[in-house]
Amino acid sequence: MLDIKFVRTNPEIVKQNIKNKFQDEKLPLVDEVLELDIRNREIKQEVEALRAEKNKISKQIGAMMAQGKKQEAGELKKKITENANRVESLTIEEKEVEAKLKKNMMTIPNIIDPSVPIGKDDSENVEVERFGEPVIPDFEIPYHTEIMEKFDGIDMDSARKVAGNGFYYLMGDIARLHSAVIAYARDFMINRGFTYCVPPFMIRSNVVTGVMSFAEMDAMMYKIEGEDLYLIGTSEHSMIGKFIDTQLTEKELPQTLTSYSPCFRKEKGAHGIEERGVYRIHQFEKQEMIVVCKPEDSSMWYEKLWKNTVDLFRSLDIPVRTLECCSGDLADLKVKSVDVEAWSPRQKKYFEVGSCSNLGDAQARRLGIRVKGEKGKYFAHTLNNTVVAPPRMLIAFLENNLQEDGSVKIPEALRLYMGGNSVIVPKK
């Protein structure tokens, strides 16, 4: 959410930013916000004037009563009643105006970083850098569920009976590999100085609207019926929410946390052949990283965060590339974002396995995360990034470490978490 003072003084910048994000339908919101802002300030000024007048009249009534001028005092009392009725009416209008103003302000997208490429959708994202050499083996790589089935490692039919489409049972070595990747990612981030955390897996609506846009909320979140609770779509939600309505000192910054959680997503509109199997699902587990920092440090942390993911994937012999998200692909709260994509030998292309985002002060402004510094109080900056998100990460791992005989090589970094095994062997 933008600062109303910024919108008030820079409406054309706000409108151009909306155009850069190809959301022209939101342009009228800017003028509406300006009108609501003016009316909101007018109401406050009138209420303040009426209350000042009430105090003045009250003193006059006291003086008249002391002088025995009851009739004159009675007339002034009528004026106080009229003022009180007007204040009550204005207070009701003020609440309505502020609610509408807040809703519009939360719908207007954040100002994107000048370095963000302008484009309509993810087809116009820009490759930044590649890490590791993509390999296409001279044998056929099966679809990921076929690889898992060779190990008796997945049962989607039973999951479909139990929970419906978009769920799965992982079994045996594949389930162990899944847990090994999560445990390795946890320790990898701890070794990089992050504090490990297991957060709540449900959050209240005020946290949901604090960390994401209305459009994201509708497309992603599952609501608990009859309660003000939502299942988290990513632990970033509850991790940033941890700091709601807090005032940090500059000495307490940065806050660098890495968290484990299950994630639950509607995946509205997900479709396509590459979204079969466990590519797009309603439930998965993830290791995440978040940072709460001073505004001047957020660019530096942004670079550090995506590099952590690249380094982790490279330690598991998986080639990756980074892709700068264009303006039209950025969620409304994001200032800048980069996707990390892993190489798929089967598809002979890269696919997304994580995303790193700088949200500026948008989440902090919504959630009331302030910092007390030498020059006064200000809103913190927040960032988040995926460490790993199995089972999508498993797809990349299995394809890149599959051997011609059907076995899967275990990179040295992961062997500690796989009982010392350097390879797992299919059962079929």
CA pair distance 186, 387, nearest whole angstrom? 8
pLDDT score for 270: 47
pLDDT score for 275: 54
**E strand or H helix at 48, and its extent?**
helix 27-66
- Whole-angstrom CA distances from 227 to 204, 209, 223, 242 are 9, 16, 8, 20
Domain ranges in the chain are: 4-107, 122-424
Q: Which pTM does this prediction carry?
A: 0.90
Strands 408-409, 381-388: pairing is unpaired
For domain 4-107, which CATH number applies: 1.10.287.40, 3.10.20.440, 3.20.20.370, 2.60.40.10?
1.10.287.40
Tokens of 261: 């959680």
Q: 272-296: per-residue pLDDT in tens?
A: 444 568 888 899 999 999 999 999 9
Q: What single-letter amino acid sits at 246?
A: T
Q: 366-409: per-residue pLDDT in tens?
A: 999 999 998 899 999 999 999 999 888 999 999 999 999 999 99
pLDDT score for 338: 98
pLDDT score for 305: 98
- Whole-angstrom CA distances from 141 to 171, 275, 394, 412 are 21, 17, 14, 22
Sign of the dihedral through C-alpha 409, 412, 413, 418: positive
Query: What's the topology of domain 122-424?
Result: BirA Bifunctional Protein; domain 2 (3.30.930)
Mean of the per-residue pLDDT values of the chain: 93
pLDDT score for 268: 56
Residue ranges, the chain, pLDDT below 50:
269-274
Q: 52-93: per-residue pLDDT in tens?
A: 988 888 888 887 877 777 777 788 888 888 888 999 999 999
